[in-house]
Structure 1
Amino acid sequence: MRSLARRLALPVAALSAALALTACQSGDTSAAAPKAPSQPSARTTGATPQPAPTGTPTGTPTGAPANADTTRPTAAPTSRPTGRPGTQPAARPQGADRVPCTAANTKIVASKVSRPINHLVLTVTNVGSRPCDAPHAPLVGFDHSQAPIRVLQGSKPQAVLGLAPGESGYASVILTGEPGGPGEDTHGTTVRTIRVNITPDSSTTVTAPSGTYADDGAAVSYWQQTLEDALTY
Structure 2
Amino acid sequence: MRTSRIRLIAATGAALAALALTACQEGTGLEDEGAGTSQPGATATADTPSGSAQDASASNKPSRAGNKDTGTGGEDTGSGGAGDKADGGANGSDDAPRARVTCDGSHTTVDAKPVPRPVNHMLITVENSGSRTCDLTYYPVLRFDEMQWVPQPVEASKPQAVVTLAPGETAYAGVLLSAADGSGDGGATAHKLTVAFQGATPNSDGGPSAVPALPADGVYYDSSMAVTYWQQSMDDALTY
Same fold (TM over 0.5): yes
- Whole-Å Cα distance in 1 between the matches of residues 212 and 221 of structure 2? 16
Measured against aligned partners, the alpha-carbon deviations of 1:94-153 in whole angstroms (never above 9, x if no partner) come to 323111111111111101211101000000110110000012211111111122111111
Q: Look at both structures and tell me which one has the larger radius of gyration over its CA atoms.
A: 1
- Whole-Å Cα distance in 2 between the matches of residues 114 and 178 of structure 1? 13
Give the CA deviation at 1:178. 5.2
Query: Among the aligned pairs, what percent are the same residue?
Result: 40
Which residue of 2 is the match for residue 147 of structure 1? Answer: 149
1:204 is aligned to 2:203: no
Q: Which runs of 4+ in 1 moved over 3 A?
A: 90-93
Which residue of 2 is the match for residue 40 of structure 1? Answer: none
- Whole-Å Cα distance in 2 between the matches of residues 150 and 178 of structure 1? 17
Aligned pairs, how many? 141
Question: Which ranges of structure 2 fall in alignment gaps of 5 or more residues?
Answer: 1-87, 199-203
Q: Is the 8 A contact 2:137 2:163 kept in 1?
A: yes
- Whole-Å Cα distance in 1 between the matches of residues 123 and 216 of structure 2? 14
Q: Is the 8 A contact 1:195 1:205 kept in 2?
A: yes
Which residue of 1 is the match for residue 226 of structure 2? Answer: 219
SS in 2 for 1:108: strand
Letter in structure 2 aligned against 1:131 = T
Residues 185 and 120 of structure 1: CA distance in aligned 2, closer, same or farther (over 3 Å):
closer
Which residue of 2 is the match for residue 177 of structure 1? Answer: 179
Letter in structure 1 aligned against 2:231 = Q
- Whole-Å Cα distance in 1 between the matches of residues 215 and 232 of structure 2? 23
Which residue of 1 is the match for residue 126 of structure 2? Answer: 124
Which residue of 1 is the match for residue 52 of structure 2? Answer: none
SS in 2 for 1:110: strand
Measured against aligned partners, the alpha-carbon deviations of 1:22-42 in whole angstroms (never above 9, x if no partner) come to xxxxxxxxxxxxxxxxxxxxx
Letter in structure 1 aligned against 2:214 = A
Q: Is the 8 A contact 1:178 1:217 kept in 2?
A: no
Q: Using structure 2 for the length normalisation, give the TM-score.
A: 0.55
What is the alpha-carbon root mean square deviation over aligned residues?
1.9
Which residue of 2 is the match for residue 59 of structure 1? Answer: none
Letter in structure 2 aligned against 1:173 = V
SS in 1 for 2:196: strand
Letter in structure 1 aligned against 2:238 = L
Give the CA deviation at 1:195. 1.1
Q: Is the 8 A contact 1:99 1:131 kept in 2?
A: yes
Letter in structure 1 aligned against 2:149 = A
- Whole-Å Cα distance in 1 between the matches of residues 196 and 156 of structure 2? 20
- Whole-Å Cα distance in 2 between the matches of residues 210 and 136 of structure 1? 29
- Whole-Å Cα distance in 1 between the matches of residues 136 and 184 of structure 2? 34
Which residue of 2 is the match for residue 167 of structure 1? Answer: 169
Give the CA deviation at 1:162. 0.3
Q: Is the 8 A contact 2:184 2:224 kept in 1?
A: no
Letter in structure 2 aligned against 1:204 = A
Letter in structure 2 aligned against 1:225 = Q
Q: Using structure 1 for the length normalisation, give the TM-score.
A: 0.56
Give the helix-richer structure, 1 or 2: 2
